[in-house]
Structure formats: structure tokens, C-alpha cells
Amino acid sequence: MRYILKVQYIGKNYAGSQIQFKNGVETETPTIQGELEKAISTLITDRRNTAENKNRHFKTVFSGRTDKGVNSLGQVIHFDCDEHIVASKFVYQLNEILPSDISVSDLKTVDDGFHAQKSAKRRHYRYVFINRKCKNAFDGDLMRVKFEVDVKRMQKALDYLLGEHDFSSFKSSGTLNPSKVCFIENAQVQKLEDKVIIDITGNRFLYNMVRTIVGTLLEIEGHNLPAEHMKQVLDARDRTKAGQTVSPYGLTLTEVEY
């Protein structure tokens, strides 16, 4: 049977969601996937307690990769298990095993044809940063932008990203997927007191794409450029034309839809 889980995590203590390999060998670097697979395998082994199951390892498939420092409220994974799992009991026990900065919810069974990554229709990301000159002890790991930003201009710049485009200008050099075309369904910015919140929804995202979009917004604001600069960067399909890739700590994968 195939099961899906919704996963929440604080990413700053992990080298991203995906297990890391060096020369084809899995490293001991802590990752979200590594912790989940260890916990799931431990729990199911303890439940069955049979010799044939003693060394069995359960592999997980994520809806998408998140980088070091990126958080999640709605990451989705799937894994296969040949026994019936009682959702409420399994979720409770798994949360007792997992580290304090990782939790799971909403265990469900799905068809064998379901794939956490390939079946996803849209993904929602949120980026939050502080907009004030002075620091505050409760800012946590959020990036602080000292110059005042113009939310109306930021929104106009984001509007140029809506629809289907080649987002090569916003991809990291680490992007392995040759396809650079994404469809951005929604992009909104708002300011609540001294926090700026940027929500972006799309069918897929390139490596570091959201963080580079935010960096380009801040380049526009910091140099008082017109909002149309975003379109010029988009049309250039050249990473050197975009802004810096900003800190990962304000980025959260909020939801994945199927």
C-alpha cells in the first residue's frame, strides 16, 4: 500500500530535505529525509518485530526539494508499506520518535499510481523578511532589510512573473532539470507592521528560484529602479541580470496541491 504524510519542519539544522551523497555513498549530514526514513523504519520494525523485517528500510519520496534553512508547513511525502497502518496511532508514535523540529500529520492511503512529486499540481511558497533599521531580539533568523520598501512597486514587479515563462534568470547554477519553464499562478506581497510577506504559487519552481525573485525585488527597491526592471530580468534569461539569492531562513513551503 502507498501512504502519504504531510510534513512540517524548521530547516535551519538540516542540509536540506534531500539525503546527501558523496561519491555515491550516503553521508551522515542531517537531512529531513534521513530523519523521516530512520523514524518510519524504526517504528514499523518495532511494530512487526520479525527477523525478516529487522533490517528493512522504508524509502520516502518528497513533493519537492527544499534547501538548507528552508522551512515547511505542507511538505508531502509518500512511502510504500505492505501492512495496514492506523493513521492516528502511527502519526502520534512517529512524532514521538522524530526530532523536535520535525513533525508529521494527515497520514492517508493513496492509489499506487500516486507520486508525491509528479502528481503535484501546484506548490505554495511564502517568504518573510523584516523591514526596519534596528534589530529586535524576536526577529529570529529572518532577514532584516534596513531601507523602506514600496509594496505597491513590489507588487507591480511581481505581476510581470505571472503566467508561463522561462525562468532561467532566476535559477541557480545547481539546477539539474533542463526544463526552465514554470507557470506562476499567483504572486502577492503585503506588509504587516514591519514584516513583508511574499506569497508565490506555481506548478513548479527551479532551484533557489523564489529566493532569487525576492533578491531581485530588493535590488529594485534598494536602487529605486522601476518595476519594469523585473520584466527585463525575466526576458534576459540570464542569471547575472537578477538580484542576489537571499537568505533561506524566511522561506517556507506552505502547501502542495494535487
Q: What is the pLDDT of residues 170-200, one digit of tens each?
A: 998 766 667 899 999 999 999 999 999 999 9
Can you tell me the mean pLDDT for 26-54? 80
Q: Give residue 254's pLDDT.
A: 98
pLDDT above 70 coverage of the chain, percent = 95
If asked whether residues 134 and 224 sit together in one domain, one would say: yes
pLDDT above 90 coverage of the chain, percent = 86
If asked whether residues 150 and 59 sit together in one domain, one would say: no
Amino acid at 226: P
Consecutive H or E run containing 177: none
67 is catalytic: yes
Active-site hit among 46, 67, 150, 166: 67
If asked whether residues 43 and 84 sit together in one domain, one would say: yes
In a domain, residue 58? The reply is yes
Q: Does the structure show a pLDDT above 80 at 257?
A: yes
Contacts with 245 (C-beta within 8 Å, 6 or more apart), sequence order: 172, 208, 211, 212, 215
CATH number, position 169? 3.30.70.660
Strands (E), 132-233: 144-145, 163-166, 181-192, 195-202
Residue position matching grid coordinates 505581476: 159
CA distances from 200 to 13, 38, 72, 122, 242 (A): 25, 32, 14, 10, 18
If asked whether residues 30 and 136 sit together in one domain, one would say: no
Q: Which domain holds residue 17?
A: 2-110
Q: Does the structure show a pLDDT above 70 at 55?
A: no
In a domain, residue 117? The reply is no
Contacts with 70 (C-beta within 8 Å, 6 or more apart), sequence order: 11, 16, 17, 248, 251, 252, 253
If asked whether residues 104 and 139 sit together in one domain, one would say: no
CATH number, position 50? 3.30.70.580
